[in-house]
Amino acid sequence: MKRIIQLSLFILLSLFARNSYAQGAEMEIRKMLQLQQEAWNAGDIPAYMSGYWQHDSLAFIGGSKTTYGWKPVLDRYLKSYPDKATMGELTFSELSVHPLSKGEYFAIGKWHLSRNKGDVGGSFHLLYRNIKGKWLIVMDYTN
């Protein structure tokens, strides 16, 4: 009987720890997206890029082109959005975050840029990986 109680407690504690980890991971990912939105709206693309993995294996798929590597993705953003007016005001909506494994999460949502020259928007699909204790985007598919 004592063994059954110990096993039951172990299972309950494991479920609680797993749920707490998942909630913490989702909150961190949502916070990172909020910080990225704030950086974008301040016109700071390098700060916006802090949410991405600084590695050559980072993949950004946008339109019909795939860009690999943190620096090329940064350069792509800087070329596409040369000034604050082009950047506009970014908002994210319909965000959902899903665990794939303990160290990987998938986020989907919509993005919208309000700009004087015309609004644009679409959807995004982000693969996050926990790298050295920080949740970072390792793959971004935006359309």
| Domains, the chain, ordered by start | 2-142 (3.10.450.50)
CA distance 127 to 41: 23
What pLDDT is attached to residue 102?
A: 87
What pLDDT is attached to residue 21?
A: 47
Smallest CA-to-CA distance from 50 within 31, 24, 64, 67 is with: 31
Exposure string for 15-46, b = 16+ CB within 10 A, e = fewer? eeeeeeeeeebbebbeebbeebbebbbeeebe
What pLDDT is attached to residue 80?
A: 94
Query: How many whole angstroms from its chain centre is CA 136?
Result: 6
For the chain, residues with pLDDT lower than 70 are 1-23
